Amino acid sequence: AAAAAATTTATTAPIHLCNSVSMGCQLSKQQQQQRHRQYHPKHHLSENLVVQHHHHSVHDDYDIIKQIGKGSIGMIYLAQSKQPQYTTISSERSGEESSPQHFKNNDTSQKSAGAYNKNNNVMSQYAMKEIDSETLERGAFDSLKKEIALLTTLDHPFIIKFFDSYTITGVEDGKEKLSVVMELCTGGSLDEYVPYSEDTALILVANIVQAILYLHHHNIVHHDLKNENVMFVDKTRDPNNIRLLDFGLAKRFDGVHRILDRNGTIYTLSPEAIRGEYSEKADMWSIGVMCFHLLSGDRPFWGETSHDVGVKVLNMDYSMEGPKWDSISKEAKSFIRGLLQFDPALRYTPFEALHSPWLKQQTEFNVENMSKSERVILEKAKEAHAPMKELQKLSLYAIAHKARSEDVASLRKLYLAIEGEDGEISLPDMQRALKGQLTPEQIKEWFKRSDFEYSGKINFTQFVAGSYDAQKKLSSQEIIDAFRFFDRDDSGFITADNLREALKIEKGEYIDELIHEADFDGDGQISFRDFRNFLLKKELTPKPVEAE
């Protein structure tokens, strides 16, 4: 698994804390810079967005509604998040209404999706895969856990999101059960609706290539690309709202050594993958097969047996002739040929594919074609000057991670227009794409608000969180989800240890400052009531941190 090493913050001398509001401290510019370095170490929140639970069952946090699928190694269920008991207890102790309606929520669009309890509070729904170690050999089960740990570090608009994983060991039999909670897709897979118009197929393929560009930049080969493994998020079947899933055969690569493996789906395997020795270029061959299928409804290589299919692949036995292909553009056919190259070195890379004559129509950013909602985002970016406290920023990040797809559609399109060659956004990427739309200062401010890890790069979730209006009205479920993200031991409180685990920071006064921002009763931890009031900007002031 690709877990980054924890980052520690070194200090050369004690720093005396003081709250500038409550104690009237005036810091010089040099002191402010020193404070910023001390309180804003590079953390690794994006690599820890999936909460891994080892102390309780998935059934403690989610209600299982019904079975919606069955895989070779487990069942898939429709799950709905529960409201934790401490949210009600917290309200009752404070003398407030226990109903979730006391949360501010002016977002009427939330009534368009999801399930509701009797108080009309939106309850988020997810897909939950449950895998029992009985169904797998010990080595395969451990390998699956490692793959999940690796893939939970990924963050891209077209890659399925993971939210929680639960590993429980039976007391009597010692057998493990692994449950993974992920994004729910209800629109069906791409293969269910073939063939598509060329315009729709172009969008679908461009978006799949965007996802593979991101994966390859992070040294991951999917190795099971097929239209069955790409799903529409909802029943509108919007080609700009798809998710790549099923990473069971995904592998790390180093760019030097070949991957030795004969697994995969025969009709999408590249010639070298059939021979059992391949590189990341095998994914690009598979995209060629997918594109052929999307445009014609047929697979380029087919036969009675796997052997027959393999022979056709190795002999490059396919054709784009006949009535089905008469209306397909020469650019689309040329694109497929650029991918179905026997020699991997001659195949398009993801970057080359995106700049091919066919896909370039979809991937070129043209500010003149921006929708009204995208222009609204840019207008809000011009106005977003109000500073946010650090815990508020991190909470918005956690909330953005679970944001519903339809709520971030315009942000997703804008992100893809700005992203660089690595599938993420740097300041130069943003400056290039938004030149003339925002001033250089406004672009820098937007980037600064979005660079949650102070790394100089922005992933999709960071972009969404950094684009939120600072005055965004939060729903009860969003606040609960954010609190759960930080409350790693499910105690009903956010402690310094919880924050260290979530941010992968061993020590440092940065953690103390985060607690201080929302610890209104001064007990050194953040209750749910404290957290809710902090995010809703209730008129409460934390007790000042005493100077050393």
Inform me whether the pLDDT recorded for 85 exceeds 90.
Answer: no
Q: Partners of 164 in the beta sheet?
A: 51, 181
Fold of 477-536: Recoverin; domain 1 (1.10.238)
The CATH number of domain 368-473 is 1.10.238.10: yes
- Report the pLDDT averaged over residues 248-277: 92
CA–CA dist 267, 313 (Å, integer):
8
Q: Where does the pLDDT of residue 538 fall: very low under 50, low under 70, confident under 90, or very high at 90 and above?
A: low
Do the Cβ atoms of 132 and 74 come closer than 8 Å? yes
Please indicate whether residue 264 or residue 175 has the higher confidence score (pLDDT). Answer: 264
The closest of 528, 535, 408 to 471, measured between CA atoms, is: 535
Query: What 8-state DSSP symbol labels residue 241?
Result: S
Q: Where does the pLDDT of residue 43 fall: very low under 50, low under 70, confident under 90, or very high at 90 and above?
A: low
Query: What is the β-pairing status of strands 230-232 and 242-244?
Result: antiparallel
What are 479's two structure tokens? 């606040």
434 phi, psi to nearest 5 deg: -105, 10
Q: What is the distance, to the nearest Å, from the Cα of residue 499 to the centroid of all Cα atoms in its chain?
A: 20
- Report the pLDDT averaged over residues 500-506: 84
Amino acid at 169: T
pTM of the shown model: 0.81
Q: Partners of 127 in the beta sheet?
A: 78, 182
**pLDDT of res. 502:** 87
Out of 3.40.50.300, 1.10.10.10, 1.10.510.10, 3.10.310.10, the CATH code matching 188-363 is: 1.10.510.10
pLDDT tens digits, residue range 333-364? 999 999 999 999 999 999 999 999 999 987 66
What are 411's two structure tokens? 């942000």
CA–CA dist 397, 463 (Å, integer):
9
> Which residues make up the CATH 1.10.510.10 domain(s) of the chain?
188-363
Catalytic residue (choose from 61, 155, 164, 224): 224
Do the Cβ atoms of 254 and 222 come closer than 8 Å? no
224 is catalytic: yes
Inform me whether the pLDDT recorded for 96 exceeds 50.
Answer: no
CA–CA dist 248, 229 (Å, integer):
11
Fold of 52-82+123-182: Phosphorylase Kinase; domain 1 (3.30.200)
Inform me whether the pLDDT recorded for 300 exceeds 70.
Answer: yes
Torsion angle defined by CA atoms of residues 49, 54, 60 and 62, in that order, rounded to the nearest 10 degrees: 40
How many of the other CB atoms lie within 10 Å of CB of 432? 13
> Which residues make up the CATH 3.30.200.20 domain(s) of the chain?
52-82+123-182
Please indicate whether residue 73 or residue 282 has the higher confidence score (pLDDT). Answer: 282
Helix axis angle, 476-486 to 528-535, nearest 10°: 120
**pLDDT of res. 362:** 79
The closest of 81, 109, 59, 155 to 479, measured between CA atoms, is: 81
Q: Where does the pLDDT of residue 37 fall: very low under 50, low under 70, confident under 90, or very high at 90 and above?
A: very low
> Which residues make up the CATH 1.10.238.10 domain(s) of the chain?
368-473, 477-536
What are 394's two structure tokens? 């991190």
* Weakest mean pLDDT among 25-39, 309-323, 345-359: 25-39
Q: Which residues contact 418 (CB under 8 A, 6 or more apart)?
A: 365, 425, 429, 430, 433, 434
